Structure 1
Amino acid sequence: MAEGIQLKKGRFSAKLSEALRAYYRPISEDPVLLGARLNQKNIQSNSIFYRVSKGPALLGWVVYDPETSTIEELVPSPPYSLKKIVVQMLDALIAAETQVSAHVLASDTEKYAELLAYGFRPVRSFNDKGLAFVGMELSTSVLLHKLKNKKPARPYRKQEKVAIEKVPETQTPAEIKESLTRLLAKLGGIDTFVAKGQTVVIKPNIVSDHGLKDGVLKPGIVTDIRVVQALVELLLPIAKQVIIAEGSSINRSETAKMFALYGYDRLVDLDPKKVKLVDLNTDKLIEKPVPAGKRMRSRKIPVTLDKADVIINLPVLKNHFAAIASLAIKNLQGAMPPLEKYMSHFFGLWQNLVNIHHLIKPQLTIIDGLCGQEDFGPVSGTPKTMNLLIAGANPVAVDATAMRVMGLEPSASPPVFLAYMQGLGPIEKKQIKVLGPAITQVRQVFKQPQIDVRGGKDLRIHSGEACSGCRGYLHFVLAKLRKDDPEHPGQRVIDRSLACKANIFLGPTMNRAINSAEVNLFMGLCQQQHAALGKHLAGCPPHAEVIVNAVYGLFPGLEKPKYADETEEAKLGKLLEEILNVFL
């Protein structure tokens, strides 16, 4: 909670009604507006009326809709002005509710300006009861800054168990299976999680074909098939059916090819009647409401996962250039169909990774740490042999433990930190009982990627307090331009002369004035308010393909990198167009 500020639930009182009248009277005498804002019947029936006070002084009220995590009203209590108390009120609300949005009357320019200054950004316009509104979302960078070093308002009380097991360096299939058996025994055995006759879905990480190029295996990118096979063999005597399900994130329509590339199709031979593979990118979907409606009201999830009795999440121990770590929380992005993957980016990737875990709830997470990946993960890093398996029932606790094994603080990963702050699990050491060798005995510090968002001769980057999301994804694209320029020997592509100097702005703060005579790209939600002043790259963070399209467009004739064949590229283009139409 903001220092010295109290946030308490109240009711729609005569005092609040009078404060609303005092606030809106200078804005408009329109009876439609006054009737809509002053009548309790026109406020959401489930709204919470938070009284915000400091000591004995009542600062004002926040009318908050918990089903959509939306601020419906911010009202100062006379004699306070909104400008004087808005930061304290918002700080207190965010400490209690984390990710929030806001609805502001289009005619309420004062409130709009104050929310904009705080870090909210306009994302849509709409009409309700004859009034025009602006919908605003909070910058993720601002949110993470506000929550730094904070504890959850609703702490996770249960102590979770996370098991660690060393695997012999020889890593034979028999040794891996024995190690997996010992790992699960620490948690009570496989039958603690799976009952006789249940359908079990295993969700590995088979993100792309980067792990096997030209017949050469590069470990640490996809889940090692030997771990999956060992798990299937342990499940077959118990489960009615074992489904290995994945939706590859790069070659999105080619999950079947990824299964074949890494030999996953051979796992069916273990018991063709009970084992099958499912491409989650093409599976039937069911729409589910997102609890608290943070960033998105609903998500479409594969029916295979919705119908499963037990889901086992099986990620790899690896870095991620933007999420910091790609472990249990991040791995379920691959469980979403292609359009939903895009929507996660456009409507807030980190929050939507948390949202997915409200709808798809693995009963068990096992991290494949036979060989991890350091440096520029999740697909372009360096293999790091660890000879470990890590497992637990709670994905946040498992990720926190795995990150400590990697030499990282759990709060450094935005999706893990948000999951913790929203009560999905603990990251504190005292809340996690480690079974097996101590973390200090197995810790190996993973080299972190060096994120470089410097521009070129005519391309300038202005990264005003941007979070790891936009910085990481922009680096991912700019790094491709730092190669030698075949048309101009001795210089890099990024240093080509441009027809007009160009700027890329990211982050919630501005450290340079916008020059309308130059080309300006505004990146992500943090720069949404400047969309009309140049080209806006929608998303939080924008998808890599959105950034590629915009940045490569600054260099005429430069061929864009392709993520798949032409047919797949066309599909990706249509998906981008579809989601942009939805977003805008």
Structure 2
Amino acid sequence: MEKKDILIIHGTDYKNMTIRILKRAGLAELIGDRNKRIGLKPNLVVARDPSEGATTHAEILEGVVAYLQECGFNNLTIMEGSWVGDNTRDAFRAAGYERISRQYGVPFKDMQADTWKSCDAAGMDIRICDTAAQMDFMINLPVLKGHCQTLITCALKNNKGLIPNAEKRRFHTLGLHRPIAHLNTVVRNDFILVDNICGDLDFEEGGNPVVMNRILAFRDPVLCDAFVCESMGHKPEEVDYIMLAQQLGVGSADTAKAHMVYLNEDLSAKKKPPMTGRVKKLASYTDSQDACSACFGSLIYALDRLQERGELKKGLPPVAIGQGFRGKTGDIGVGHCTACFSKSLEGCPPKAADMVEFLEKEWVCKHM
């Protein structure tokens, strides 16, 4: 797997999906020496079940551990520090990680209780937890989701769990963006496996999950977060820490040069995803017929961006989406399946960022 690659797999068998994508990425070959100390960094920000859209699914962690041990890697450590005010061990239990730790013999280190040292992070002094600093290879396991302060959170911000609580407080006083970017010049980002199963619409704590049933793999955390922005209807330039991290040499935000590798098709069209109140409200602006999870989820994110701008209003014709519209005509639709409509956005699925631009021009403005 190269730095510019983005691997994508769809489905609901999350453990086996994880193993399959790791094999395709050649993770064992990327790590090399079987004696390396390998850190596994999920997102356990709060003590909530992963189905609520805040934390990394246990099946993904289990798939990573099973794959690594099968390949002869046994020096593994799960590590995380929940946000200030929440207990990491409670989050560890709520996410279902205790069984995995016990069954596979992988220890857990609570970064809230870890020792730390200060280091120079490209000209900024930052305190890093000692256990994280001692790893030879880090596997970042973030959740693709929204954030009330930084718009999105994924690979780069997930590493905030590797600093002590006092440093997390200081990050907020500094405005989050600059310290997050500098943090990623010193913490390892050797491999990123993104939980894009049902991340929250716009809040790190969860509560409004958008079901997409995907797992993504990256080697570049900046490319990862730039892709996440576009997947949620934002531009990477809207998230300061992404562009700052690029300037500091952490990675590239140029998604146009990325190489997309699809391991399978999204076969979720016959299954209606569960929806909370906010997601249901956004879905009321759609006409969904056998829509795949990733395509429908992208439309929900796009509609949320339009709602933030005050552009969703009663009287708009529903946006068609899904395989049920193949070969049919209509007013407006998104995705390859609505190609015969008067107005249609190509893509399978289109990015939410492209949906926002298309819907603003062809849907909102035409019905003002």
- State the TM-score, normalizing by the size of structure 2: 0.69
Higher strand share: 1
Q: How does 1:326-337 map to 2 (within 5 A)?
A: 326-337=153-164
What secondary structure sits across from 1:385 in the alignment? Answer: coil
Does 1:284 pair with 2:284? no
> Which of 110, 113, 135 in structure 2 is aligned with 1:308?
135
- Shift, 1:218, TM fit: 4.1
What secondary structure sits across from 1:415 in the alignment? Answer: helix
- Counterpart-to-counterpart distance in 1, 2:249 and 2:192: 18
Query: 1:251 and 1:449, CA in 2 relative to 1: closer, same or farther beyond 3 A?
Result: farther
The alignment of Structure 1 onto Structure 2 pairs a total of residues equal to 276
Q: Supply the AA of the counterpart residue of 1:317.
A: L
- Counterpart-to-counterpart distance in 2, 1:194 and 1:354: 28
Between structure 1 and structure 2, the one with the greater Rg is 1
Q: Which residue of 2 aligns with 1:468?
A: none
- Counterpart-to-counterpart distance in 2, 1:278 and 1:451: 39
What secondary structure sits across from 1:382 in the alignment? Answer: coil
- Shift, 1:344, TM fit: 1.0
Q: How does 1:487-498 map to 2 (within 5 A)?
A: none
Q: Which residue of 2 aligns with 1:351?
A: 178
Which structure is richer in relative contact order (CA contacts within 8 A, separation 6 or more)? 2
- Counterpart-to-counterpart distance in 2, 1:313 and 1:399: 12
Where does structure 2 lack aligned partners over 5 or more consecutive residues? 267-291, 310-368
> Which of 83, 88, 96 in structure 2 is aligned with 1:249?
83
Does 1:262 pair with 2:86? no
Q: Supply the AA of the counterpart residue of 2:165.
A: P
Where does structure 1 lack aligned partners over 5 or more consecutive residues? 1-157, 453-584
Q: Which residue of 2 aligns with 1:196?
A: 34
> Which of 24, 49, 59 in structure 2 is aligned with 1:226?
59
Q: Is the 8 A contact 2:3 2:220 kept in 1?
A: no
> Which of 240, 243, 246 in structure 2 is aligned with 1:420?
246
Q: Supply the AA of the counterpart residue of 2:148.
A: F
What secondary structure sits across from 1:319 in the alignment? Answer: strand
Q: Supply the AA of the counterpart residue of 1:184.
A: L
Q: Is the 8 A contact 2:197 2:212 kept in 1?
A: yes
Q: How does 1:17-96 map to 2 (within 5 A)?
A: none
- Counterpart-to-counterpart distance in 2, 1:218 and 1:269: 22
Q: Is the 8 A contact 1:321 1:449 kept in 2?
A: no
> Which of 391, 395, 407 in structure 1 is aligned with 2:217?
391
Query: 1:362 and 1:281, CA in 2 relative to 1: closer, same or farther beyond 3 A?
Result: same
Deviations 1:530-552 (A, max 9, x none): xxxxxxxxxxxxxxxxxxxxxxx
> Which of 17, 20, 24 in structure 2 is aligned with 1:179?
17
Indicate the percent of aligned positions where both proteins have the same amino acid.
Answer: 24
Q: Is the 8 A contact 2:236 2:243 kept in 1?
A: yes
- Counterpart-to-counterpart distance in 2, 1:180 and 1:403: 23
Q: RMSD over aligned Cα, in angstroms?
A: 2.6
Q: Supply the AA of the counterpart residue of 1:390.
A: L
Query: 1:439 and 1:403, CA in 2 relative to 1: closer, same or farther beyond 3 A?
Result: farther
- Counterpart-to-counterpart distance in 1, 2:193 and 2:172: 26
- Shift, 1:232, TM fit: 1.0
Does 1:166 pair with 2:166? no
- Counterpart-to-counterpart distance in 2, 1:182 and 1:262: 22
Q: Supply the AA of the counterpart residue of 1:267.
A: I
Q: Is the 8 A contact 2:198 2:211 kept in 1?
A: yes
Comparing 412-421 and 184-193, the one that deviates more: 184-193
- State the TM-score, normalizing by the size of structure 1: 0.44
Deviations 1:494-536 (A, max 9, x none): xxxxxxxxxxxxxxxxxxxxxxxxxxxxxxxxxxxxxxxxxxx
- Counterpart-to-counterpart distance in 1, 2:306 and 2:116: 36
> Which of 244, 248, 262 in structure 2 is aligned with 1:436?
262
Does 1:235 pair with 2:68? yes
